[in-house]
Amino acid sequence: MENKTSFLPREGEAQPSRCPDNSAFKQQRLPAWKPQLTIASVLSCFFLTGAFCLTVGVCLVLSSNSVREIQINYSDKCSNCTKLRENSSNWNKECHCSVNFTLKEDILGDVFMYYGLENFYQNHRRYVTSRSDAQLLGRNVNIQRSKCAPFSTYRNGTPMSPCGAIANSIFNDTIDLFYKRNSSVIQVPLLKTGVSWWTDKNVKFRNPESYNLSSAFAGTARPPYWQKPVYLLDEEDERNNGFVNDDFIVWMRVSAFATFRNLYRRLRRVRHFTEGLPAGNYTFRIAYNFPVTRFKGRKHVILSTVVWSGGKNPFLGIAYLVSGTAATLAGFVITGIHLKLRKKKTYFQKQ
């Protein structure tokens, strides 16, 4: 039987020390800086922070107000198409509508076209995860087991490409812009490429390697709500097809809010539009395909310029103004309290 006393220290033997080493680090003797908060340093921090935030806020608000923007709600103006899209059995029927508007002043510089959606929740947990990054990277287009369900395969086993609820619900309205110049109507040249992030276009989305894009997607089928396969999204530019299509990439970057806008086109500054969009009468011609009545949504088309701080969004500037105002007011309050206490202290010293 093992002797239990064999683990105990014998008489005369030194017991091992459990104290930490006698070093500056382990004994917490390292040099340290302890700031002495005086009234001058505290008030300086508050007033400098307030001045900085107020300056940045004013610059951001002025920059946002300098953005030229026109927004048109075409959900109500295309009421005939809206009623047609309420019935899902009419998915293969085409419907077009026109929306007229007037620019009273020139919009100079680069002009961008956005589409906006209201009451469309892309931040639902199952919706956000309903995609296959391996498929979007071109590694395996025949995804059958993934988080894409129920938009992963058809009943006969044919895999969908691209799979998932995000891809299936892609915004598929077609919006063209026309300019009425004198007695003629000119189509405004718009670019379909260059509207997505560089990292998305060149890193996160890749087409499968094949000598022919259609053969790369052989054995797959388009999602249920799509009107054409993924390799024919842009029939005019072969480089803008498949998973690297700009419209597809922009849609796959989901929004955190129910009301959002996505970049759709950018103005090609040639001929009559070298300086931007001239003042005059314009028409949006819309191929209405995206239904919004079931979730009580609305659709917008936006023409906007951009500045160094981005598009028209005064929220960040207002946030800086509020923060700067709060810091400045806190500085004045602390100054008043300090003067009051100092006056009282002086009074008692004289007594």
Q: What pLDDT is recorded for position 94? A: 87
pLDDT for position 175: 95
> What pLDDT is recorded for position 10?
64
In this model, does residue 116 exceed pLDDT 80? yes
Q: Does the pLDDT of residue 15 top 80, yes or no?
A: no
Q: Where is average pLDDT lowest: 135-144, 186-195, 239-248? A: 135-144
Tell me the mean pLDDT in the region 83-90: 80
pLDDT at 343 over 60: yes
Kindly state the average pLDDT of the residues 227-236: 90
Mean pLDDT of 141-148: 75
pLDDT of residue 4: 53
Between 14 and 88, the higher pLDDT residue: 88
pLDDT of residue 84: 86
Give the mean pLDDT of 254-269: 94
Per-residue pLDDT, 347: 56
- Full 3-state SS string of the chain: CCCHHHHCCCCCCCCCCCCCCCCCCCCCCCCCCCCCCCHHHHHHHHHHHHHHHHHHHHHHHHHHHCCCEEEEECCCCCHHHHHHHHCHHHCCCCCEEEEEEEECCCEECCCEEEEEEECCCCCCHHHHCCCCHHHHCCCCCCCCCCCCCCCCECCCCCEECCCCHHHHCCCCCEEEEEEEECCEEEECCEECCCCCCHHHHHHHCCCCCCCCHHHHCCCCECCCCCCCCHHHCCCCCHHHCHHHCHHHHHHHCCCCCCCEEEEEEEECCCHHHCCEECCEEEEEEEECCCCCCCCCCEEEEEEECCECCECCCCHHHHHHHHHHHHHHHHHHHHHHHHHHHHHHHHHHHHC
Using the predicted structure, report yes or no on whether residue 268 has a pLDDT greater than 60.
Answer: yes
pLDDT at 6: 55
Q: What is the mean pLDDT of residues 222-233?
A: 91
Give me the mean pLDDT over the 278-287 stretch: 94
Q: What pLDDT does 14 receive?
A: 63
Q: 312 or 245: whose pLDDT is higher?
A: 245
Given a cut of 60, whether residue 8 has pLDDT beyond it is: no
pLDDT value at residue 250: 96
Across residues 133-137, what is the average pLDDT?
Answer: 90
Instruction: Read off the pTM.
Output: 0.81
Q: Stretch 34-55: mean pLDDT, rounded?
A: 92
| Percent of the chain residues topping a pLDDT of 70 | 93
- On average, the pLDDT of the chain sits at 88
* Domain map (residue ranges) of the chain: 46-67+309-325, 68-305
pLDDT band at 276 (very low <50, low <70, confident <90, very high): very high
Q: Is the pLDDT of residue 28 over 90?
A: no
Q: Say if residue 298's pLDDT is above 90.
A: yes
In the prediction, which pLDDT does 170 show? Answer: 95
* pLDDT at residue 198, rounded to an integer: 93
